[in-house]
Amino acid sequence: MHVKITGTRRIVSLCVLLAFFAFFVFDLVKIQIIDGDEYAAASNAVSERTAVITAARGEIVDCNGQELVYNDQGYSIIFDYAYFPSEQEQRNVIISNLIDLFEKNSLEWIDNLPLVFDENGGIVYKEDSENLIKEMKSEDMLNLNDYATAQNCFDALISRYKLEQYPAEKARKIASVCYEMKRLFFSIGYPYTFASDVPEEIISYIKENSGTYQGVDVQVVPVRQYADGTLAPHVLGRTGAIDADEYKKLKDEGYKITDYIGKSGIEAAMEEYLKGTDGEETIYWDGDGNKSSAVTVQPVQGNTVVLTIDAGLQKVAQDALRETLLDFAGSDRGNLVDDAGAVVVLNCKTGAILASASYPTYDISTYSENAKALNEDPSAPLWNRALLSTYATGSTMKPSVAIAALEEGLIDEEYTVYCSGMYTYLDQKFKCEQSHKTRFVNVVNAIDESCNSFFYEVGKNLGIEKMNEYRTLFGLGSKTGCELGEATGVLDSPEYRSSLGQTWLPGFTIQSAIGQAGNLFTPIQLANYCAVIANGGTRYRTHFIKSIKSYDYSQTIIETKPEILSQMDLSDETLDIVQRGMLAVGERSSYFKNSPVQIAAKTGTSQEIRNLNGNSVKVNNGFLIAFAPYENPEIAIAVVGEGFRAGSRLSSVVAAIVEYYFGQSDSMQTNQQENILIP
């Protein structure tokens, strides 16, 4: 019986083994023969992913087509997701080696982590990084409470990225890269940029040591370049990496978290035109892990922005402003204020801004390296005084009062005011500190010799409402309409004082007539006001943009046409009288003696109280407005010098601008007037 059972078991076991063997043989035959073609195709199948090719930004050129901002090719070090290790410990080693390489060669790598070590070695939040800190604590990143400390954040990073074995300083650096990789969605479609603008020798070294830097690759990218970083930096502006808040607003418009966008100036104002259209690259992997790629959608460079700025005139204006400010630094300021000022040059017939300079200034091509120092500099070199600073502009306001009084019929050229050097109003005495050829001053002499007594009397009779009615038409106390940010200023009035809880006093009216009281205007408003006087009463919207062209100049996207904001129907007699008064000012200036054309001008000086080192001190500011030529004016100029005792000291700036503008060839002036682009 036992023998029979044992034999049966052997037979069953053998059958089972034969069945398994038959199954595997059949499966092998099916794979190799029946379905061989299908499996062969699968083994050779290619997987693919799509990556974005970032388009180059458009260029910015001056009115004659001269490049101001353009693109060059540069190298970036990137992490290729397909080959970069997935294990965190391996990533840390590669990142650590890269950091060592860059620091050994004194090169910068991208480090945006808002955590730094203080002088005691403690981890603290980086100053002025509120948005980055908020994002770091957010649910999408470290998921910490709002009240989490810098140490809490650092501990979370150490734990997340397995950095316990590294010294704190090195751990923070590696964590910065890992954190940024997560923040920027490191993936096949979004390679991570470790460093930009990398020298070729470093590129070569990394390629030669690819085993050490697994998954680290080189990418050729467009790099923003400046023909001259010191030329019109406040106008051109800069670009920078998109931040979290900007990305939330712009992602639906096709922006990526890795994009760079305009942060200031024309770069920001014309962002929608300067941004190119991204392309696509399809990346393929075969069954053996071999990689290939093909551009499936070509990127399109952004449009070319053509400015109204003339590069040559801009440089002359900048240099003349700087030299004049420095020449009078000691004699006028007494070291009470820093050298500071602005100049704006407009086309009287179109409102085009031909030059706009602010001092102190900076080199925009080195902004990134010097950003901290520039932002902390008490002289505020990043501040655009030409568009954003407001001043009590003194006697430059007198022509506006003269025009209002002449147009309203309160005075004519024969009307005179007796000036004894002192004007009495409501038992108060106000000085006229000018010497006159005759005590009886008419309107032409009053403008020429800047007689306060004359304008006190005229302003009293005219009234603040009528004075401000005309000043409003001149655009004083309102934005000029240019594409860049500008201050509104203040047109002082009973209504304005009331909004501050103050009372309008009678003396304010006569003070306003000589450009004092609470009036505050920008240099660009002064230039536009002067242009209105020069062209006979037409106030144009000011503009920096001449046109916008496609990157290859084949299409015109925008062509700026002169836009009238207000029109004053001024009589020829009024214009003749006021312009003759301004011409007399110009003719008395020794700076204008050798000018190629006649210059009409008006100077001004005002006082302001500044807090310097805890003390209140009085500081004079000088102003000069001018237009040229006197017959058929083409350009209007406004210059401001902070800490200047007299606006006449700014005449050298106007002289240099007029000399350059009218000393050029006829072809240059024709190009500007007819709006022709020379590519």
What is the rounded distance in angstroms from the CA atom of residue 151 to the CA atom of residue 157? Answer: 10
Give yes or no: residues 114 and 155 share one domain. yes
- What is the per-residue pLDDT for 532? 98
Q: What is the mean pLDDT of residues 92-115?
A: 95
- What is the per-residue pLDDT for 599? 97
Give yes or no: residues 176 and 295 share one domain. no
pLDDT at 258 over 70: yes
Q: What is the percentage of the chain residues whose pLDDT exceeds 90?
A: 69
Considering its fold, how many domains does the chain have in total?
A: 3
- What is the per-residue pLDDT for 679? 32
What is the rounded distance in angstroms from the CA atom of residue 36 to the CA atom of residue 45? Answer: 14
Give yes or no: residues 227 and 183 share one domain. no
pLDDT at 629 over 80: yes
Give yes or no: residues 271 and 234 share one domain. yes
Strand partners, 51: 281
pLDDT at 243 over 90: no
- What is the per-residue pLDDT for 54? 84
What is the rounded distance in angstroms from the CA atom of residue 381 to the CA atom of residue 401? Answer: 35
The CA distances from residue 412 to 345, 409, 454, 578, in Å, are 31, 7, 13, 11
Give yes or no: residues 507 and 601 share one domain. yes
The model's confidence at residue 24, banded by pLDDT at 50, 70 and 90, is: low
The verdict on residue 658 lying in a domain is yes
Identify the weakest region by mean pLDDT among 77-81, 159-163, 286-290, 552-556.
Answer: 286-290
Greatest alpha-carbon span in the chain: 153
What is the rounded distance in angstroms from the CA atom of residue 351 to the CA atom of residue 349? Answer: 6
The verdict on residue 52 lying in a domain is yes
pLDDT at 13 over 80: no
What is the rounded distance in angstroms from the CA atom of residue 517 to the CA atom of residue 607? Answer: 11
The verdict on residue 205 lying in a domain is no
Q: What is the mean pLDDT of residues 556-581?
A: 96
- What is the per-residue pLDDT for 582? 97
Q: Please, what is the average pLDDT of the chain?
A: 88
Give yes or no: residues 277 and 418 share one domain. no
- Which pair of tokens denotes residue 218? 């080189």
- What is the per-residue pLDDT for 667? 40
Q: What is the mean pLDDT of residues 180-188?
A: 91
- What is the per-residue pLDDT for 606? 87
The model's confidence at residue 593, banded by pLDDT at 50, 70 and 90, is: very high
- What is the per-residue pLDDT for 498? 94
pLDDT at 509 over 90: yes
Q: Could you report the per-residue pLDDT of 404-446, keeping only the tens digit for each?
A: 999 999 999 999 999 988 888 888 888 887 778 788 999 999 9
The model's confidence at residue 34, banded by pLDDT at 50, 70 and 90, is: low
What string of H, E and C letters represents the secondary structure of 72-128?
EEEEEEEECCCCCCCCHHHHHHHHHHHHHHHHHCCCCCCCCCCEEECCCCCEEECCC
- What is the per-residue pLDDT for 31? 46
pLDDT at 576 over 50: yes
- What is the per-residue pLDDT for 23? 55
- Which pair of tokens denotes residue 627? 């237009």
Q: In what order do the strands lie in the sheet with 635-642?
A: 353-359, 341-347, 635-642, 615-628, 600-612
Please, are residues 523 and 345 in contact by the beta-carbon 8 Å criterion?
no
Give yes or no: residues 485 and 411 share one domain. yes
Q: What is the pTM of this model?
A: 0.85
- What is the per-residue pLDDT for 327? 85
The verdict on residue 196 lying in a domain is no
CATH of the domain at 294: 3.90.1310.10
Give yes or no: residues 477 and 331 share one domain. yes
What is the rounded distance in angstroms from the CA atom of residue 271 to the CA atom of residue 402? Answer: 43
Identify the helix (H) or strand (E) that includes residue 666. helix 666-674
CATH of the domain at 458: 3.40.710.10
pLDDT at 336 over 90: no
What is the rounded distance in angstroms from the CA atom of residue 351 to the CA atom of residue 482? Answer: 9
The verdict on residue 11 lying in a domain is no
Domain range holding 258? 45-78+221-307
Give yes or no: residues 502 and 597 share one domain. yes
- Which pair of tokens denotes residue 153? 């954040």
Q: CA triplet 634, 305, 556: central angle to 5 degrees?
A: 90
Give yes or no: residues 464 and 595 share one domain. yes
Q: Which of 241, 272, 307 is the last residue of a domain?
A: 307
The verdict on residue 368 lying in a domain is no
What is the rounded distance in angstroms from the CA atom of residue 479 to the CA atom of residue 678? Answer: 31
- What is the per-residue pLDDT for 39? 44
The verdict on residue 451 lying in a domain is yes
Closest CA relative to residue 79, chosen from 174, 166, 183, 191: 191
> Based on the number of CB atoms within 10 Å of its own CB, is 322 exposed (0-12), middle (13-18) or buried (19 or more)?
middle
The verdict on residue 351 lying in a domain is yes
- Which pair of tokens denotes residue 443? 């309107």
- What is the per-residue pLDDT for 459? 95
Please, are residues 364 and 233 in contact by the beta-carbon 8 Å criterion?
yes
Closest CA relative to residue 432, chosen from 457, 410, 412: 457
What's phi and psi for 575, nearest 5 deg? -60, -40
Q: Could you report the per-residue pLDDT of 264-302, keeping only the tens digit for each?
A: 999 999 999 999 998 888 878 776 667 677 888 999 999
Give yes or no: residues 287 and 329 share one domain. no
Give yes or no: residues 567 and 599 share one domain. yes
